[in-house]
Amino acid sequence: RHDLVSAQQLDTEAVLHQIKLATAFQNGLQIKLRRPVYAMNLFFENSTRTHTSFEMAEQRLGIGVIGFQASDSSMTKGESLLDTLKTIQAIGVDLAVIRHSKNAYYEPILAEQLTLSLINAGDGSGEHPSQSLLDMMTINQAFGHFSGLKVGIIGDIAHSRVARSNAELLTKLGARVAFAGPDSWFPVEFSQFGPHVTVDEIVDQADVVMLLRVQHERLSTEMEEGFNASEYHERFGLTAERVERLQPQTIIMHPGPVNRGVEIDSDLVESPHSRIFQQMSNGMYMRMAIIADILSAKNLIEPIELGV
Ligand code: CP
Amino acid 128 reads H
Q: What is the ipTM of this complex?
A: 0.99
| Mean pLDDT (the chain, rounded) | 96
Query: What is the pLDDT at residue 284?
Result: 98
CA 94 to ligand 1 center in whole angstroms: 23
Supply the DSSP symbol for 217.
G
pLDDT tens digit sequence for 141-166: 999 999 999 999 999 999 999 999 99
Binding-site residues sit at: 49-50, 77, 99, 128, 131, 161, 213, 256-257
The alpha carbon of 130 is separated from its chain's Cα centroid by a whole number of angstroms, namely 4
Ligand 1 in contact with 48 (CB < 6 A)? yes
The residue with greater pLDDT, 116 or 216, is: 116
Cis ω on the peptide bond leading into residue 195 (within 30° of 0)? no
Q: Find the mean pLDDT for residues 39-51.
A: 98
C-alpha to C-alpha distance for 115 and 112, rounded to whole angstroms: 9
* Cα 269 from Cα 275, distance rounded (Å): 8
215 lines ligand 1 (CB under 6 A): no
Question: How big is the chain, counted in residues?
Answer: 308
Output Rg (C-alpha) for the chain, integer angstroms: 19
Q: What burial class does residue 28 get, using C-beta atoms within 10 Å of its C-beta: 0-12 exposed, 13-18 middle, 19+ buried?
A: exposed
Asked whether the predicted pLDDT for residue 60 surpasses 70, the reply is yes
Task: Decide the pairing of beta strands 95-100 and 117-123.
Answer: parallel
Residue 230 CA to ligand 1 center (angstroms) comes to 23
Q: What is the reported pTM?
A: 0.96
State yes or no: pLDDT of 122 exceeds 80. Answer: yes
Tell me the CA end-to-end span of the chain in Å, nearest whole number.
27
**Ligand 1 atom nearest residue 52's Cα:** 8
% the chain with pLDDT above 70? 99
Report in angstroms the alpha-carbon separations of 246 from 68, 86, 279: 44, 51, 20
Q: What is the mean pLDDT of residues 277-300?
A: 98
Q: Average pLDDT in the 13-18 region?
A: 98
Q: Which among 140, 131, 203 is positioned nearest to 168, based on CA atoms?
A: 131
Residue among 205, 189, 192, 196 at smallest CA distance from 148: 205
The predicted-structure confidence for 188-212, as pLDDT tens digits, reads as follows 999 999 999 999 999 999 999 999 9
Q: What single DSSP character describes residue 48?
A: S
CA 285 from chain center: how many Å? 13
Residues 63 and 54: their CA atoms lie apart, in Å, by 11
**What pLDDT score was predicted for residue 195?**
98
Residue 224's pLDDT band (cuts 50, 70, 90): confident
Numbered residues of the known binding site for L-aspartate: 77, 161, 213
For 226-261, how does the pLDDT look when each residue is reduced to its tens digit (9 = 90+)? Answer: 889 999 999 999 999 999 999 999 999 999 999 999
Q: Which residues contact 165 (CB under 8 A, 6 or more apart)?
A: 6, 7, 127, 128, 129, 131, 132
Report pLDDT for 41. 98
Pair 262, 234: CB distance under 8 Å: no
**Residues whose CB is less than 8 angstroms from the CB of residue 303 and which lie 6 or more positions away in sequence, other chains included:** 296
Residue 308: pLDDT above 90?
no
Distances from the Cα of 198 to the Cα of 184, 204, 273, angstroms: 14, 10, 20
Report the sign of the C-alpha dihedral through residues 200, 201, 203, 209, in that order. negative
Residue 52, H or E segment: helix 49-60
Ligand 1 centroid, distance to 45 Cα (angstroms)? 10
Measured in angstroms, how far is the CA atom of residue 302 from the centroid of ligand 1?
31
Protein residue whose Cα sits closest to atom 5 of ligand 1: 47
The closest residue, in CA terms, to atom 6 on ligand 1 is: 47
